[in-house]
Structure 1
Amino acid sequence: MERYSDEELEEFKEIIKENYQQAKKELQLLRDQVSEFSENISEGFGADYTQDSSSVNQLEMLNEQVLRKRDQVQDLQNAMLRIKNKVYGVCSVTGKLIDRKRLEAVPTTTKSLEGMKLQASGIMDVTAQDLARQANERKEGPNKIISKIKKPPPPKAKPAPKKKSRRRKKVEEEDEDMI
Structure 2
Amino acid sequence: MRLAFDLLDLVDDYWVTCEIRMADQGADGPLPADALWAGYRRRREAERDAGPVTYSLWVDWFEDRSTAATAFAQVLGRDLERLRDGAAPALLRRGRRVLDCSGPVPWPVKEEAYEAAARLPALHGALFKTVPASFHDFHGDVRPEAALRLLSGLELAPDTRHLTELRHVLAAGHLNHYRSPRAWEAAVRAAS
TM beyond 0.5: no
TM-score relative to the length of structure 2: 0.20
Larger radius of gyration: 1
